[in-house]
Amino acid sequence: MSLYDIVVKVEAKDQSILEKIITKQIRKIEHIHTTMTLTVIEEQEK
């Protein structure tokens, strides 16, 4: 097994929905022991 066995792209309308998807769905999948979440911050206007 490597550091990243599966990479998933999840899009949500807001942070609270994303948190629910991760905690209530992804982490409940059999054989998922840990997760790492990386978020994208949209570029600010200059």
Mark out the alpha helices in the chain (DSSP H runs).
Answer: 15-20
pLDDT in tens, 4-44: 788 999 999 999 999 999 999 999 999 898 999 988 887 76
Residue 46 lies in a domain: no
- Give the separation between CA 7 and CA 17, rounded to whole angstroms: 19
Enclosing domain of residue 14: 1-39
Q: How many domains does the chain have?
A: 1
Give 21's contacts (C-beta < 8 A, 6+ positions apart): 10, 12
Residue 44 lies in a domain: no
Residue 28 lies in a domain: yes
* Distance (Å) of CA 16 to CA 5, 11, 19: 25, 12, 5
- Give the separation between CA 32 and CA 14, rounded to whole angstroms: 24
Residue 45 lies in a domain: no
Question: Which pLDDT value is given to residue 24?
Answer: 96
